[in-house]
Structure 1
Amino acid sequence: MAKRGHRPSKAGPSRPRFYGRHAVLAALANPERTVRQIWGTHEALDGLDIPSTVPVVFANAADLGRLVPGDAPHQGLVADVDPLEDIWLGDLLAQGEGDDRPLIVLDQVTDPHNVGAILRSAAAFDALGIVTQDRHAPPESGTVARSAAGTLEVVPWVRVVNLARALEEIEKAGFWRIGLTGHADQNLSDVMGKARICLVLGAEGEGMRQNTEAHCDQLAKLPISDKVESLNVSNAAAIALYAVAARG
Protein backbone atom coordinates (compact mmCIF):
# COMPACT_ATOMS: atom_id res chain seq x y z
CA MET A 1 0.00 0.00 0.00
CA ALA A 2 1.28 3.47 -0.82
CA LYS A 3 2.15 5.58 2.17
CA ARG A 4 0.64 9.02 1.95
CA GLY A 5 -0.80 11.81 4.03
CA HIS A 6 -0.05 12.90 7.56
CA ARG A 7 2.99 11.06 8.89
CA PRO A 8 2.35 8.55 11.68
CA SER A 9 4.29 8.62 14.92
CA LYS A 10 7.86 7.32 14.72
CA ALA A 11 7.98 6.27 18.36
CA GLY A 12 9.32 2.76 18.85
CA PRO A 13 6.69 0.93 20.91
CA SER A 14 7.66 -1.91 23.23
CA ARG A 15 6.38 -5.41 22.60
CA PRO A 16 2.82 -5.76 23.97
CA ARG A 17 1.73 -8.69 26.11
CA PHE A 18 -1.87 -9.72 25.48
CA TYR A 19 -4.04 -11.80 27.78
CA GLY A 20 -7.54 -13.19 27.65
CA ARG A 21 -9.15 -15.47 25.09
CA HIS A 22 -10.60 -12.81 22.76
CA ALA A 23 -7.39 -10.78 22.57
CA VAL A 24 -5.06 -13.73 22.02
CA LEU A 25 -7.26 -15.56 19.50
CA ALA A 26 -7.85 -12.35 17.52
CA ALA A 27 -4.09 -11.72 17.41
CA LEU A 28 -3.52 -15.25 16.09
CA ALA A 29 -6.20 -14.74 13.43
CA ASN A 30 -4.75 -11.43 12.21
CA PRO A 31 -2.29 -12.01 9.33
CA GLU A 32 -0.79 -8.57 10.00
CA ARG A 33 0.11 -9.47 13.60
CA THR A 34 3.25 -11.37 14.59
CA VAL A 35 2.77 -13.52 17.69
CA ARG A 36 6.12 -14.25 19.33
CA GLN A 37 5.17 -16.66 22.12
CA ILE A 38 2.11 -18.07 23.85
CA TRP A 39 1.68 -19.30 27.40
CA GLY A 40 -1.43 -21.20 28.36
CA THR A 41 -3.08 -23.84 30.45
CA HIS A 42 -3.69 -27.24 28.88
CA GLU A 43 -7.44 -26.57 28.92
CA ALA A 44 -7.19 -23.17 27.22
CA LEU A 45 -4.74 -24.41 24.58
CA ASP A 46 -6.69 -27.55 23.77
CA GLY A 47 -7.96 -27.44 20.20
CA LEU A 48 -6.36 -24.12 19.26
CA ASP A 49 -4.83 -23.86 15.79
CA ILE A 50 -1.46 -22.30 16.63
CA PRO A 51 1.18 -21.99 13.88
CA SER A 52 4.13 -24.31 14.41
CA THR A 53 6.48 -21.30 14.28
CA VAL A 54 5.01 -19.85 17.50
CA PRO A 55 6.61 -21.20 20.70
CA VAL A 56 4.03 -22.51 23.18
CA VAL A 57 4.67 -22.88 26.91
CA PHE A 58 2.25 -24.80 29.10
CA ALA A 59 1.65 -23.10 32.44
CA ASN A 60 -0.80 -23.24 35.31
CA ALA A 61 -3.09 -20.36 36.22
CA ALA A 62 -0.84 -19.11 39.01
CA ASP A 63 2.17 -18.92 36.70
CA LEU A 64 0.12 -17.03 34.11
CA GLY A 65 -1.00 -14.60 36.79
CA ARG A 66 2.62 -13.63 37.34
CA LEU A 67 2.98 -12.73 33.65
CA VAL A 68 0.20 -10.13 33.63
CA PRO A 69 -0.62 -7.03 35.71
CA GLY A 70 -2.31 -7.48 39.07
CA ASP A 71 -5.58 -9.37 38.86
CA ALA A 72 -5.82 -9.20 35.06
CA PRO A 73 -8.25 -11.90 33.83
CA HIS A 74 -5.98 -13.97 31.59
CA GLN A 75 -8.53 -16.81 31.04
CA GLY A 76 -5.66 -19.25 30.66
CA LEU A 77 -3.96 -17.51 27.71
CA VAL A 78 -1.09 -15.00 27.50
CA ALA A 79 0.85 -13.96 24.39
CA ASP A 80 3.76 -11.71 23.51
CA VAL A 81 3.16 -9.98 20.17
CA ASP A 82 4.77 -7.38 17.94
CA PRO A 83 2.95 -4.05 17.55
CA LEU A 84 1.07 -3.61 14.30
CA GLU A 85 2.72 -1.53 11.60
CA ASP A 86 1.98 2.19 11.55
CA ILE A 87 -0.92 3.30 9.37
CA TRP A 88 -0.72 6.56 7.44
CA LEU A 89 -3.74 8.82 7.69
CA GLY A 90 -3.89 9.38 3.94
CA ASP A 91 -4.03 5.64 3.34
CA LEU A 92 -6.89 5.26 5.81
CA LEU A 93 -8.83 8.12 4.22
CA ALA A 94 -8.28 6.57 0.80
CA GLN A 95 -9.82 3.32 2.06
CA GLY A 96 -12.96 5.27 2.95
CA GLU A 97 -13.42 6.97 -0.41
CA GLY A 98 -16.86 6.35 -1.83
CA ASP A 99 -18.55 5.26 1.41
CA ASP A 100 -20.05 6.96 4.44
CA ARG A 101 -18.28 5.18 7.28
CA PRO A 102 -17.62 7.56 10.20
CA LEU A 103 -14.17 8.38 11.52
CA ILE A 104 -13.30 8.89 15.20
CA VAL A 105 -10.66 11.32 16.46
CA LEU A 106 -9.63 11.17 20.13
CA ASP A 107 -7.97 14.17 21.73
CA GLN A 108 -5.81 13.16 24.71
CA VAL A 109 -7.93 10.16 25.69
CA THR A 110 -5.26 8.33 27.66
CA ASP A 111 -7.15 5.62 29.56
CA PRO A 112 -6.50 2.25 27.86
CA HIS A 113 -9.87 0.85 28.98
CA ASN A 114 -11.65 3.74 27.24
CA VAL A 115 -9.64 3.42 24.04
CA GLY A 116 -10.26 -0.32 23.97
CA ALA A 117 -13.99 0.17 24.50
CA ILE A 118 -14.08 2.79 21.73
CA LEU A 119 -12.34 0.37 19.36
CA ARG A 120 -15.05 -2.18 20.16
CA SER A 121 -17.83 0.33 19.42
CA ALA A 122 -16.02 1.42 16.25
CA ALA A 123 -16.07 -2.18 15.05
CA ALA A 124 -19.72 -2.63 16.01
CA PHE A 125 -20.81 0.41 13.98
CA ASP A 126 -18.34 -0.16 11.12
CA ALA A 127 -16.28 2.99 11.63
CA LEU A 128 -13.46 3.66 9.20
CA GLY A 129 -10.96 3.83 12.06
CA ILE A 130 -9.73 5.91 14.98
CA VAL A 131 -7.10 8.65 15.05
CA THR A 132 -5.11 9.66 18.13
CA GLN A 133 -2.09 11.77 18.89
CA ASP A 134 0.96 9.66 19.65
CA ARG A 135 2.05 11.35 22.89
CA HIS A 136 -1.33 11.49 24.61
CA ALA A 137 -2.81 8.07 23.91
CA PRO A 138 -2.02 4.64 25.32
CA PRO A 139 0.20 2.25 23.38
CA GLU A 140 -1.00 -1.15 22.26
CA SER A 141 -1.21 -3.18 25.44
CA GLY A 142 -2.92 -6.07 27.10
CA THR A 143 -5.40 -3.69 28.70
CA VAL A 144 -6.36 -2.09 25.38
CA ALA A 145 -6.61 -5.47 23.66
CA ARG A 146 -8.68 -6.97 26.48
CA SER A 147 -11.08 -4.00 26.56
CA ALA A 148 -11.37 -4.08 22.77
CA ALA A 149 -12.40 -7.77 22.89
CA GLY A 150 -10.46 -8.64 19.75
CA THR A 151 -11.33 -5.52 17.73
CA LEU A 152 -7.85 -4.02 18.10
CA GLU A 153 -6.99 -6.42 15.27
CA VAL A 154 -9.70 -5.21 12.86
CA VAL A 155 -10.17 -1.45 13.45
CA PRO A 156 -7.41 0.72 11.91
CA TRP A 157 -5.71 2.93 14.49
CA VAL A 158 -3.75 5.90 13.16
CA ARG A 159 -1.31 7.73 15.44
CA VAL A 160 -0.27 11.22 14.37
CA VAL A 161 2.19 13.78 15.64
CA ASN A 162 -0.05 16.83 15.20
CA LEU A 163 -3.80 16.38 15.68
CA ALA A 164 -4.71 19.80 14.26
CA ARG A 165 -2.95 19.07 10.96
CA ALA A 166 -4.59 15.66 10.87
CA LEU A 167 -8.01 17.29 11.24
CA GLU A 168 -7.17 19.59 8.33
CA GLU A 169 -6.36 16.56 6.19
CA ILE A 170 -9.60 14.91 7.29
CA GLU A 171 -11.53 18.02 6.21
CA LYS A 172 -9.90 17.91 2.77
CA ALA A 173 -11.06 14.30 2.45
CA GLY A 174 -14.66 15.51 2.69
CA PHE A 175 -15.54 14.83 6.32
CA TRP A 176 -17.77 17.08 8.43
CA ARG A 177 -15.87 17.33 11.72
CA ILE A 178 -18.20 17.35 14.75
CA GLY A 179 -16.68 17.93 18.16
CA LEU A 180 -18.67 16.51 21.06
CA THR A 181 -18.78 18.78 24.08
CA GLY A 182 -21.26 19.48 26.84
CA HIS A 183 -21.13 23.25 26.29
CA ALA A 184 -22.40 23.08 22.70
CA ASP A 185 -25.75 24.69 21.88
CA GLN A 186 -27.04 22.04 19.46
CA ASN A 187 -27.62 18.30 19.75
CA LEU A 188 -25.68 15.88 17.59
CA SER A 189 -28.81 14.78 15.72
CA ASP A 190 -29.44 18.37 14.60
CA VAL A 191 -26.06 18.96 12.96
CA MET A 192 -25.16 15.72 11.16
CA GLY A 193 -27.00 16.21 7.89
CA LYS A 194 -25.97 13.75 5.16
CA ALA A 195 -22.23 14.43 5.16
CA ARG A 196 -19.45 11.99 5.97
CA ILE A 197 -18.95 12.36 9.71
CA CYS A 198 -15.79 12.65 11.75
CA LEU A 199 -16.56 12.51 15.47
CA VAL A 200 -14.04 14.30 17.67
CA LEU A 201 -14.00 13.50 21.39
CA GLY A 202 -11.82 14.73 24.22
CA ALA A 203 -10.80 13.20 27.51
CA GLU A 204 -13.43 12.86 30.20
CA GLY A 205 -13.32 15.93 32.43
CA GLU A 206 -10.92 18.09 30.42
CA GLY A 207 -12.68 17.61 27.10
CA MET A 208 -11.15 18.73 23.82
CA ARG A 209 -8.34 21.25 23.79
CA GLN A 210 -9.15 24.70 22.44
CA ASN A 211 -7.14 24.22 19.26
CA THR A 212 -8.89 20.92 18.59
CA GLU A 213 -12.29 22.58 18.96
CA ALA A 214 -11.13 25.29 16.56
CA HIS A 215 -10.48 22.60 13.95
CA CYS A 216 -14.03 21.25 14.14
CA ASP A 217 -16.72 22.39 11.70
CA GLN A 218 -19.43 22.08 14.35
CA LEU A 219 -19.71 21.50 18.08
CA ALA A 220 -22.55 19.34 19.35
CA LYS A 221 -23.75 17.63 22.50
CA LEU A 222 -25.65 14.50 23.41
CA PRO A 223 -29.11 15.18 24.90
CA ILE A 224 -28.40 13.77 28.36
CA SER A 225 -30.32 14.55 31.55
CA ASP A 226 -29.11 17.30 33.85
CA LYS A 227 -28.89 14.64 36.56
CA VAL A 228 -25.37 13.88 35.31
CA GLU A 229 -22.66 16.29 34.21
CA SER A 230 -21.18 14.10 31.48
CA LEU A 231 -20.78 10.58 30.15
CA ASN A 232 -17.71 8.42 30.09
CA VAL A 233 -15.96 9.09 26.77
CA SER A 234 -16.35 5.49 25.60
CA ASN A 235 -20.10 5.61 26.31
CA ALA A 236 -20.38 8.94 24.49
CA ALA A 237 -18.53 7.50 21.50
CA ALA A 238 -20.84 4.48 21.34
CA ILE A 239 -23.98 6.65 21.48
CA ALA A 240 -22.63 9.05 18.86
CA LEU A 241 -21.68 6.19 16.53
CA TYR A 242 -25.18 4.76 16.88
CA ALA A 243 -26.67 8.17 16.07
CA VAL A 244 -24.58 8.39 12.90
CA ALA A 245 -25.54 4.85 11.87
CA ALA A 246 -29.25 5.44 12.55
CA ARG A 247 -29.68 8.82 10.85
CA GLY A 248 -32.35 8.84 8.18
Structure 2
Amino acid sequence: MATRERPPRGRGGDARGGSERGGGERTGARSERGGGERSERAGEREDRRGSAESQQRFVYGVNPVLEALRAKPDEVERLYLVEGQLGARAAGELLSRARDAGIRVEKVTRERLGALAEGGVHQGVVVELRGYTYAELEDVLEAAKAAGKPPLVVVLDGIQDPHNLGAIIRSANALGAHGVVIAKDRAVQVTGTVAKASAGAVEHTLIARVVNVSRALEELKAAGLWVAAADVEATEPMWSARLDGPLALVVGAEGTGVREGVLKHCDFRLRIPMTGQVGSLNASVSAGILLYEVARQRGSAPVR
Protein backbone atom coordinates (compact mmCIF):
# COMPACT_ATOMS: atom_id res chain seq x y z
CA MET A 1 0.00 0.00 0.00
CA ALA A 2 1.18 3.51 -0.80
CA THR A 3 2.55 5.61 2.03
CA ARG A 4 2.27 9.25 3.06
CA GLU A 5 5.71 10.16 1.74
CA ARG A 6 4.73 13.51 0.25
CA PRO A 7 1.79 15.83 0.76
CA PRO A 8 -0.64 15.84 -2.18
CA ARG A 9 -0.30 19.60 -2.61
CA GLY A 10 -1.12 21.55 -5.72
CA ARG A 11 1.14 23.78 -7.74
CA GLY A 12 2.23 25.97 -4.86
CA GLY A 13 -1.28 26.23 -3.39
CA ASP A 14 -2.03 26.51 0.31
CA ALA A 15 -3.07 23.19 1.78
CA ARG A 16 -5.06 24.95 4.51
CA GLY A 17 -3.76 22.96 7.43
CA GLY A 18 -1.08 20.81 5.82
CA SER A 19 1.62 23.46 6.33
CA GLU A 20 0.54 24.18 9.89
CA ARG A 21 0.73 20.57 10.97
CA GLY A 22 4.25 19.43 10.19
CA GLY A 23 5.51 15.89 10.44
CA GLY A 24 6.85 16.47 13.95
CA GLU A 25 3.57 17.66 15.31
CA ARG A 26 1.66 14.81 13.74
CA THR A 27 4.12 12.27 15.06
CA GLY A 28 3.86 13.79 18.52
CA ALA A 29 0.09 13.64 18.46
CA ARG A 30 0.18 9.99 17.56
CA SER A 31 2.80 9.08 20.14
CA GLU A 32 0.48 10.26 22.91
CA ARG A 33 -1.97 7.51 22.09
CA GLY A 34 -0.64 4.66 24.14
CA GLY A 35 -1.97 1.25 25.03
CA GLY A 36 -5.02 2.68 26.77
CA GLU A 37 -6.31 4.34 23.66
CA ARG A 38 -5.48 1.32 21.52
CA SER A 39 -7.54 -0.74 23.94
CA GLU A 40 -10.35 1.77 23.64
CA ARG A 41 -10.22 1.53 19.83
CA ALA A 42 -10.29 -2.26 20.08
CA GLY A 43 -13.36 -1.99 22.28
CA GLU A 44 -15.02 0.25 19.74
CA ARG A 45 -14.27 -2.24 16.97
CA GLU A 46 -15.84 -4.98 19.06
CA ASP A 47 -18.87 -2.76 19.62
CA ARG A 48 -19.17 -2.11 15.89
CA ARG A 49 -18.95 -5.79 15.09
CA GLY A 50 -21.47 -6.63 17.77
CA SER A 51 -24.02 -4.18 16.37
CA ALA A 52 -22.97 -4.38 12.75
CA GLU A 53 -26.16 -5.91 11.44
CA SER A 54 -29.08 -3.51 11.45
CA GLN A 55 -32.65 -4.63 11.94
CA GLN A 56 -34.76 -6.19 9.20
CA ARG A 57 -35.02 -3.90 6.19
CA PHE A 58 -37.09 -3.57 3.05
CA VAL A 59 -35.64 -2.64 -0.33
CA TYR A 60 -38.00 -1.42 -3.03
CA GLY A 61 -37.93 -0.42 -6.69
CA VAL A 62 -37.09 -2.62 -9.68
CA ASN A 63 -33.35 -1.88 -9.96
CA PRO A 64 -32.52 -1.97 -6.21
CA VAL A 65 -34.48 -5.22 -5.81
CA LEU A 66 -32.76 -6.82 -8.79
CA GLU A 67 -29.34 -5.80 -7.43
CA ALA A 68 -30.22 -7.31 -4.04
CA LEU A 69 -31.24 -10.58 -5.71
CA ARG A 70 -28.13 -10.61 -7.90
CA ALA A 71 -25.62 -9.69 -5.21
CA LYS A 72 -27.03 -11.09 -1.98
CA PRO A 73 -29.75 -13.69 -2.64
CA ASP A 74 -28.88 -15.50 0.58
CA GLU A 75 -29.90 -12.42 2.59
CA VAL A 76 -33.33 -12.07 0.96
CA GLU A 77 -36.16 -13.45 3.08
CA ARG A 78 -39.15 -12.69 0.86
CA LEU A 79 -40.16 -11.08 -2.43
CA TYR A 80 -43.40 -9.08 -2.57
CA LEU A 81 -45.04 -8.27 -5.91
CA VAL A 82 -48.11 -6.42 -7.14
CA GLU A 83 -49.48 -8.65 -9.88
CA GLY A 84 -49.69 -7.04 -13.30
CA GLN A 85 -47.69 -3.91 -12.45
CA LEU A 86 -44.24 -5.06 -13.51
CA GLY A 87 -43.02 -5.37 -17.08
CA ALA A 88 -42.65 -8.90 -18.42
CA ARG A 89 -38.83 -8.77 -18.61
CA ALA A 90 -38.35 -7.44 -15.06
CA ALA A 91 -40.95 -9.81 -13.62
CA GLY A 92 -39.34 -12.75 -15.39
CA GLU A 93 -35.88 -12.07 -13.95
CA LEU A 94 -37.22 -11.33 -10.47
CA LEU A 95 -39.23 -14.54 -10.32
CA SER A 96 -36.46 -16.62 -11.87
CA ARG A 97 -33.86 -15.42 -9.38
CA ALA A 98 -36.25 -15.87 -6.46
CA ARG A 99 -37.03 -19.41 -7.58
CA ASP A 100 -33.35 -20.33 -8.02
CA ALA A 101 -32.51 -18.97 -4.54
CA GLY A 102 -35.53 -20.62 -2.89
CA ILE A 103 -37.03 -17.26 -1.90
CA ARG A 104 -40.69 -17.12 -0.99
CA VAL A 105 -42.79 -14.93 -3.31
CA GLU A 106 -45.97 -13.19 -2.17
CA LYS A 107 -48.41 -11.36 -4.41
CA VAL A 108 -49.91 -8.47 -2.47
CA THR A 109 -52.00 -5.35 -2.97
CA ARG A 110 -50.56 -1.93 -3.82
CA GLU A 111 -51.64 -0.75 -0.36
CA ARG A 112 -49.69 -3.50 1.38
CA LEU A 113 -46.64 -2.85 -0.76
CA GLY A 114 -46.89 0.88 -0.10
CA ALA A 115 -46.86 0.21 3.63
CA LEU A 116 -43.77 -2.01 3.35
CA ALA A 117 -41.99 0.67 1.32
CA GLU A 118 -43.09 3.34 3.83
CA GLY A 119 -44.62 5.42 1.08
CA GLY A 120 -41.61 5.21 -1.26
CA VAL A 121 -41.87 4.69 -5.01
CA HIS A 122 -41.82 0.89 -5.04
CA GLN A 123 -42.67 0.25 -8.74
CA GLY A 124 -44.62 -2.82 -7.72
CA VAL A 125 -41.87 -4.79 -5.99
CA VAL A 126 -40.31 -5.02 -2.52
CA VAL A 127 -37.85 -7.49 -0.98
CA GLU A 128 -37.40 -8.18 2.70
CA LEU A 129 -33.77 -8.64 3.76
CA ARG A 130 -32.28 -9.84 7.03
CA GLY A 131 -30.45 -6.59 7.67
CA TYR A 132 -27.52 -4.62 6.34
CA THR A 133 -24.12 -5.88 7.48
CA TYR A 134 -21.64 -3.03 7.80
CA ALA A 135 -17.98 -3.44 6.96
CA GLU A 136 -14.95 -2.45 9.02
CA LEU A 137 -12.34 0.13 8.01
CA GLU A 138 -9.91 -2.75 7.66
CA ASP A 139 -12.22 -4.39 5.11
CA VAL A 140 -12.21 -1.25 2.97
CA LEU A 141 -8.41 -1.02 3.04
CA GLU A 142 -8.11 -4.70 2.21
CA ALA A 143 -10.41 -4.22 -0.78
CA ALA A 144 -8.08 -1.50 -2.10
CA LYS A 145 -5.06 -3.72 -1.53
CA ALA A 146 -6.72 -6.61 -3.37
CA ALA A 147 -7.50 -4.29 -6.29
CA GLY A 148 -3.87 -3.18 -6.44
CA LYS A 149 -4.84 0.50 -6.46
CA PRO A 150 -4.27 3.44 -4.10
CA PRO A 151 -7.07 3.40 -1.51
CA LEU A 152 -9.95 5.80 -2.06
CA VAL A 153 -12.36 6.11 0.85
CA VAL A 154 -15.34 8.46 1.13
CA VAL A 155 -15.92 9.59 4.74
CA LEU A 156 -19.25 11.24 5.52
CA ASP A 157 -19.65 13.61 8.44
CA GLY A 158 -23.23 13.98 9.61
CA ILE A 159 -25.16 13.17 6.41
CA GLN A 160 -28.78 12.82 7.54
CA ASP A 161 -30.73 12.81 4.28
CA PRO A 162 -31.18 9.23 3.00
CA HIS A 163 -31.41 10.43 -0.61
CA ASN A 164 -28.05 12.18 -0.26
CA LEU A 165 -26.45 9.11 1.28
CA GLY A 166 -27.83 6.87 -1.46
CA ALA A 167 -26.64 9.20 -4.21
CA ILE A 168 -23.15 9.44 -2.66
CA ILE A 169 -22.89 5.64 -2.42
CA ARG A 170 -23.93 5.42 -6.08
CA SER A 171 -21.23 7.90 -7.14
CA ALA A 172 -18.62 6.22 -4.93
CA ASN A 173 -19.34 2.86 -6.53
CA ALA A 174 -19.33 4.28 -10.06
CA LEU A 175 -16.11 6.27 -9.66
CA GLY A 176 -13.81 3.76 -8.03
CA ALA A 177 -14.07 4.33 -4.28
CA HIS A 178 -13.23 1.26 -2.25
CA GLY A 179 -15.73 2.07 0.47
CA VAL A 180 -17.85 4.64 2.28
CA VAL A 181 -17.61 5.47 5.98
CA ILE A 182 -20.59 6.74 8.00
CA ALA A 183 -21.09 7.55 11.66
CA LYS A 184 -23.04 5.24 13.91
CA ASP A 185 -24.86 8.12 15.61
CA ARG A 186 -26.43 11.38 14.41
CA ALA A 187 -26.30 10.24 10.79
CA VAL A 188 -28.62 8.33 8.49
CA GLN A 189 -28.03 4.58 8.30
CA VAL A 190 -28.60 2.21 5.37
CA THR A 191 -32.35 1.96 4.79
CA GLY A 192 -34.68 1.06 1.97
CA THR A 193 -34.79 4.69 0.91
CA VAL A 194 -30.98 4.79 0.80
CA ALA A 195 -30.91 1.61 -1.29
CA LYS A 196 -33.47 3.05 -3.73
CA ALA A 197 -31.55 6.34 -4.06
CA SER A 198 -28.33 4.38 -4.69
CA ALA A 199 -29.99 2.39 -7.52
CA GLY A 200 -28.84 -0.78 -5.76
CA ALA A 201 -25.21 0.32 -5.27
CA VAL A 202 -25.47 -0.41 -1.52
CA GLU A 203 -25.39 -4.10 -2.40
CA HIS A 204 -22.01 -3.71 -4.14
CA THR A 205 -20.30 -1.13 -1.91
CA LEU A 206 -18.46 -1.63 1.37
CA ILE A 207 -20.02 0.71 3.93
CA ALA A 208 -18.21 0.96 7.25
CA ARG A 209 -19.94 2.36 10.31
CA VAL A 210 -17.73 3.98 12.94
CA VAL A 211 -18.26 5.33 16.44
CA ASN A 212 -16.02 8.37 15.95
CA VAL A 213 -15.34 9.99 12.57
CA SER A 214 -12.25 11.88 13.75
CA ARG A 215 -10.67 8.74 15.13
CA ALA A 216 -11.49 6.89 11.90
CA LEU A 217 -9.58 9.57 9.99
CA GLU A 218 -6.57 9.08 12.23
CA GLU A 219 -6.72 5.34 11.58
CA LEU A 220 -6.82 5.99 7.84
CA LYS A 221 -3.84 8.35 8.11
CA ALA A 222 -1.94 5.70 10.06
CA ALA A 223 -2.67 3.34 7.16
CA GLY A 224 -1.00 5.78 4.75
CA LEU A 225 -3.94 7.79 3.41
CA TRP A 226 -4.05 11.57 3.02
CA VAL A 227 -7.27 13.21 4.15
CA ALA A 228 -8.97 15.92 2.08
CA ALA A 229 -12.14 17.73 3.16
CA ALA A 230 -14.70 19.39 0.92
CA ASP A 231 -14.87 22.96 2.25
CA VAL A 232 -16.65 25.87 0.59
CA GLU A 233 -14.27 28.30 2.35
CA ALA A 234 -11.07 26.58 1.22
CA THR A 235 -8.61 28.56 -0.89
CA GLU A 236 -7.32 25.64 -2.94
CA PRO A 237 -9.43 24.58 -5.96
CA MET A 238 -9.84 20.84 -6.27
CA TRP A 239 -7.83 20.53 -9.50
CA SER A 240 -4.67 22.07 -8.03
CA ALA A 241 -4.37 19.35 -5.37
CA ARG A 242 -2.74 15.96 -5.95
CA LEU A 243 -5.56 13.46 -5.58
CA ASP A 244 -4.06 10.45 -7.32
CA GLY A 245 -2.51 8.85 -4.23
CA PRO A 246 -4.06 7.06 -1.25
CA LEU A 247 -6.92 9.33 -0.23
CA ALA A 248 -9.82 9.75 2.17
CA LEU A 249 -12.35 12.30 0.91
CA VAL A 250 -14.46 13.89 3.66
CA VAL A 251 -17.88 15.34 2.83
CA GLY A 252 -20.12 17.05 5.38
CA ALA A 253 -23.83 17.62 5.67
CA GLU A 254 -25.70 20.29 3.78
CA GLY A 255 -25.73 23.61 5.59
CA THR A 256 -23.17 22.77 8.25
CA GLY A 257 -20.52 21.13 6.07
CA VAL A 258 -17.67 19.25 7.73
CA ARG A 259 -17.56 19.99 11.45
CA GLU A 260 -14.62 22.04 12.71
CA GLY A 261 -13.54 19.24 15.04
CA VAL A 262 -13.34 16.86 12.07
CA LEU A 263 -11.59 19.44 9.86
CA LYS A 264 -8.72 19.50 12.36
CA HIS A 265 -7.97 15.91 11.41
CA CYS A 266 -7.82 16.68 7.68
CA ASP A 267 -4.54 17.32 5.87
CA PHE A 268 -5.96 19.81 3.38
CA ARG A 269 -9.23 21.27 2.14
CA LEU A 270 -10.73 21.45 -1.32
CA ARG A 271 -13.01 24.00 -2.94
CA ILE A 272 -15.23 23.35 -5.94
CA PRO A 273 -14.95 26.54 -8.02
CA MET A 274 -18.35 27.95 -9.00
CA THR A 275 -19.30 30.91 -11.17
CA GLY A 276 -23.04 31.18 -10.52
CA GLN A 277 -24.99 33.02 -7.86
CA VAL A 278 -25.51 29.92 -5.69
CA GLY A 279 -22.70 29.64 -3.16
CA SER A 280 -22.91 25.94 -2.30
CA LEU A 281 -23.89 22.57 -3.71
CA ASN A 282 -25.93 19.63 -2.53
CA ALA A 283 -23.72 17.24 -0.52
CA SER A 284 -24.18 14.38 -2.97
CA VAL A 285 -23.42 16.65 -5.95
CA SER A 286 -20.24 17.88 -4.24
CA ALA A 287 -19.16 14.32 -3.54
CA GLY A 288 -19.81 13.32 -7.15
CA ILE A 289 -17.79 16.23 -8.56
CA LEU A 290 -14.83 15.59 -6.25
CA LEU A 291 -14.88 11.85 -6.93
CA TYR A 292 -14.85 12.49 -10.66
CA GLU A 293 -11.82 14.77 -10.27
CA VAL A 294 -10.07 11.98 -8.34
CA ALA A 295 -10.96 9.51 -11.10
CA ARG A 296 -9.71 11.96 -13.74
CA GLN A 297 -6.37 12.41 -12.02
CA ARG A 298 -6.02 8.66 -11.59
CA GLY A 299 -6.78 8.13 -15.26
CA SER A 300 -9.80 6.03 -14.38
CA ALA A 301 -12.66 8.38 -15.28
CA PRO A 302 -15.26 6.35 -17.22
CA VAL A 303 -15.04 6.62 -21.00
CA ARG A 304 -17.99 5.55 -23.12
Same fold (TM over 0.5): yes
Partner of 1:63: 112
1:83-129 deviation per Cα after TM superposition (whole angstroms, max 9, x unaligned):
23231111211221241252100000111100000011011102111
Alignment of 1:146-161 (within 5 A): 146-161=196-211
Task: Say if 1:108 and 1:133, in contact at 8 Å, map to a contact too.
Answer: yes
Partner of 1:123 in structure 2? Answer: 173
Contact 2:54 2:133 in 1 (8 A): no
Q: Which runs of 4+ in 1 moved over 6 A?
A: none
Q: Separation in 1 of the partners of 2:169 and 2:207?
A: 9
Question: 201, 212, 227: which one pairs with 1:177?
Answer: 227
| C-alpha displacement of 1:74 | 0.7
Where do residues 80-229 of structure 1 align in structure 2 (5 Å cutoff)?
A: 80-97=128-145, 98-229=148-279
Q: Name the CA distance, whole Å, in 1 between partners of 2:201 and 2:224.
A: 26
Rg bigger for which structure? 2
Note the alpha carbon deviations across 1:51-71, whole angstroms, 9 max, x for none.
45322111233432232223x
How many angstroms does 1:15 deviate by? 0.9
User: Given that residues 117 and 147 in structure 1 are in contact (C-alpha distance below 8 angstroms), is that contact kept between their aligned partners in structure 2?
Assistant: yes
Distance 2:69 2:143 in 1: 24
The secondary structure found in structure 2 opposite 1:179 is: strand
Give the drift of 1:175: 1.4
29-38 or 119-128: bigger deviation: 29-38
Partner of 1:234: 284
Cα distance in 1 between the residues matched to 2:296 and 2:203:
25
Counterparts of 1:202 and 1:32, CA distance in 2: 33
Change (3 A) 1:21 1:81: same
CA distance in 1: counterparts of 2:204 and 2:93, whole angstroms:
23
CA distance in 2: counterparts of 1:190 and 1:120, whole angstroms: 26
User: Residue 136 and residue 150 in structure 1: after superposition, are their counterparts in 2 closer, same or farther (change >3 A)?
Assistant: same
Match of 1:16 among 53, 57, 74: 57
Please give the per-residue CA displacement for 1:18-48, whole angstroms capped at 9, x wherever unaligned: 1101111111112375111111023434442
- Unmatched 5+ stretches in structure 2: 1-40, 300-304
Q: 1:37 corresponds to which letter in structure 2? A: R
SS in 2 for 1:66: helix
Which residue number corresponds to residue 302 of structure 2?
none
Q: What one-letter code is carried by the residue in structure 1 that aligns with 2:141?
A: L
Counterpart of 1:53 in structure 2 is 102
In 2, the alpha carbon distance for the partners of 1:57 and 1:194 equals 48
Stretch of structure 1 that moved more, 147-156 or 192-201: 192-201
The 8 Å contact of residues 81 and 107 in structure 2, kept in 1 or not, is answered as yes
